[in-house]
Amino acid sequence: MSGRILVVEDDERIRSSMRLALEGEGYEVKDAASGEEGLSLFTEAPTDVALIDLMLPGMDGFECCRALRRQSAVPIIIVTARADTHDVVAGLEAGADDYVTKPFVAKELAARIRALLRRARPPEEDPGALVFGDLQLLPEQGVLRQVDGDEVHCTRTEFRLLCELAASPNKVLSREQLLDRVWGYDYFGDGRLVDVHIRRLRTKVESDPAAPRHILTVRGMGYKLVP
Amino acid sequence: MKLGIGARITAIFGLGALLLSISMGGLSYFTTRHFLLAERESAALHQAFANATLVRSALASGTTAYADLLATLDVGSNSHSVLIHKSKAYASSLSLNASSIPTRLRAEVLAGTAATQTYRTGTQSQPQIIVGVPIPSVRASYFEVFTLSDLDHTLRVLGLTLFGAGVLTTLLGTALGRIASDRSLRPLAGVSRAAVAIAGGQLDTRLNAADPDPDLAGLTTSFNAMVDQLQVRIERETRFNSDVSHELRSPLTTLSASLEVLEAEWDNLSPRGRRALQLLGDDLRRFQRMVGDLLEMSRADAGSMDVFLEEVNVSELVQRAAEAGLRVLKQQAPAPEVHIGGEVRALHVGVDKRRFERVMANLIENATVYGGGVTAISVHGSSGASDTPSEVEIAVEDAGPGIDPVERSKVFDRFYRGSASGRRGTGTGTGLGLALVAEHMRLMGGRAWVEASPSGGARFVLSLPVLASVEDPER
Helix axis angle, A35-44 to A61-71, nearest 10°: 20
Mutation test of the interface with chain B: which of A5, A11, A17, A224, choosing the one with the most B Cβ atoms within 10 A? A17
Regarding whether A113 and A137 lie in a shared domain, the answer is: no
Query: How many domains is chain A partitioned into structurally?
Result: 2
Report the residue from A14, A24, A81 with minimal CB separation from B261.
A24
Q: What does the alpha-carbon distance between residue B83 and residue B144 come to, in Å, rounded to a whole number? A: 8
Chain A: closest CA distance from residue B194 (Å): 27
Cβ B256–A104 below 8 Å, yes or no?
Answer: yes
- CATH code, A71: 3.40.50.2300
Cβ A17–B467 below 8 Å, yes or no?
Answer: no
Backbone angles phi, psi at B75, to 5 degrees: -115, 140
Regarding whether B348 and B450 lie in a shared domain, the answer is: yes
Regarding whether B322 and B280 lie in a shared domain, the answer is: no
CB contacts of A16 in chain B (<8 Å) are 254
Q: Do A115 and A178 contact (CB within 8 A), yes or no?
A: no
Q: What does the alpha-carbon distance between residue B262 and residue B277 come to, in Å, rounded to a whole number? A: 8
Domain boundary residue among B110, B132, B154?
Answer: B154
Domain boundary residue among A72, A98, A118?
Answer: A118
3-state SS, residue B348: strand
- CATH code, B375: 3.30.565.10
| pLDDT score recorded for residue A142 | 75
CB contacts of B249 in chain A (<8 Å) are 81, 102-103
Cβ B246–A187 below 8 Å, yes or no?
Answer: no
Closest CA to B412 of B362, B369, B469, B349: B362
Cβ B354–A106 below 8 Å, yes or no?
Answer: no
Regarding whether A24 and A96 lie in a shared domain, the answer is: yes
Going by their DSSP bridges, the two strands B389-398 and B458-467 should be labelled as antiparallel
Cβ B254–A84 below 8 Å, yes or no?
Answer: no
Regarding whether B358 and B265 lie in a shared domain, the answer is: no
Cβ A17–B288 below 8 Å, yes or no?
Answer: no
Chain A: closest CA distance from residue B264 (Å): 8
Chain A: closest CA distance from residue B1 (Å): 46
Q: What does the alpha-carbon distance between residue A206 and residue A223 come to, in Å, rounded to a whole number? A: 15
Q: What does the alpha-carbon distance between residue B1 and residue B5 come to, in Å, rounded to a whole number? A: 13
Amino acid at B147: T
Is B473 within a domain? no
Q: What does the alpha-carbon distance between residue B457 and residue B24 come to, in Å, rounded to a whole number? A: 74
Chain A: closest CA distance from residue B377 (Å): 19
Q: What does the alpha-carbon distance between residue A199 and residue A158 come to, in Å, rounded to a whole number? A: 10
Structural domain boundaries, residue B245: 214-301
Domain boundary residue among B154, B173, B204?
Answer: B154
Per-residue pLDDT of chain B (475 residues; tens, 9 = 90+): 677 888 888 899 999 999 999 999 899 999 998 898 888 888 888 888 888 888 888 888 877 777 777 777 777 777 888 888 877 788 877 777 777 777 778 888 877 777 777 665 554 566 778 888 888 887 888 888 888 778 888 888 998 999 999 999 999 999 999 998 888 888 788 888 888 888 877 778 888 777 667 777 888 888 888 889 988 888 887 777 767 766 888 888 899 989 989 998 999 999 999 999 999 998 898 888 888 888 777 777 766 677 788 888 888 899 889 888 888 776 556 677 888 888 888 888 988 888 899 899 989 888 888 888 888 899 988 876 666 788 899 999 988 888 888 888 888 888 777 655 544 444 556 778 888 899 899 988 899 999 888 888 889 999 999 887 655 444 4
Exposed e or buried b for every residue in A166-175, given b needs 16+ CB within 10 A?
bbeeeebbbb
Q: What does the alpha-carbon distance between residue B147 and residue B153 come to, in Å, rounded to a whole number? A: 11
Regarding whether A105 and A16 lie in a shared domain, the answer is: yes
3-state SS, residue A101: strand
Regarding whether A155 and A56 lie in a shared domain, the answer is: no
- CATH code, B236: 1.10.287
Closest CA to A195 of A179, A181, A211, A210: A179
Cβ B257–A84 below 8 Å, yes or no?
Answer: no
| pLDDT score recorded for residue B429 | 64
| pLDDT score recorded for residue B425 | 44
| pLDDT score recorded for residue B33 | 87
Q: What does the alpha-carbon distance between residue A93 and residue A96 come to, in Å, rounded to a whole number? A: 7
Chain A residue with Cα closest to B289: A103
CB contacts of A172 in chain B (<8 Å) are 474
Regarding whether B331 and B461 lie in a shared domain, the answer is: yes
CB contacts of A104 in chain B (<8 Å) are 253, 256
Mutation test of the interface with chain A: which of B238, B245, B250, choosing the one with the most A Cβ atoms within 10 A? B250
| pLDDT score recorded for residue A185 | 87
CB contacts of B268 in chain A (<8 Å) are none
Is A123 within a domain? no
Cβ A20–B353 below 8 Å, yes or no?
Answer: no
- CATH code, B76: 3.30.450.20
Regarding whether A108 and A73 lie in a shared domain, the answer is: yes
Cα end-to-end span (Å), chain A: 37
Q: Do B43 and B54 contact (CB within 8 A), yes or no?
A: no
Regarding whether A149 and A114 lie in a shared domain, the answer is: no
Q: What does the alpha-carbon distance between residue B370 and residue B404 come to, in Å, rounded to a whole number? A: 14
Mutation test of the interface with chain B: which of A18, A27, A82, choosing the one with the most B Cβ atoms within 10 A? A82
Backbone angles phi, psi at A217, to 5 degrees: -90, 130
pTM over 0.80: no
Regarding whether B390 and B348 lie in a shared domain, the answer is: yes
Query: How many domains is chain B partitioned into structurally?
Result: 3
3-state secondary structure B79-117: EEEEEEECCEEEECCCCCCHHHCCHHHHHHHHCCCCEEE
Q: Which residues of chain A have pLDDT under 50?
A: 1, 120-121, 123
Is B325 within a domain? yes
Structural domain boundaries, residue A99: 4-118
| pLDDT score recorded for residue A47 | 92
Q: What does the alpha-carbon distance between residue A39 and residue B279 come to, in Å, rounded to a whole number? A: 40
Report the residue from B251, B260, B472 with minimal CB separation from A221.
B472
Backbone angles phi, psi at B348, to 5 degrees: -115, 145
Alpha helix segments (H runs only) across chain A: 12-24, 35-44, 61-71, 86-93, 106-118, 156-167, 175-178, 191-205
Regarding whether B324 and B284 lie in a shared domain, the answer is: no
- CATH code, A202: 1.10.10.10
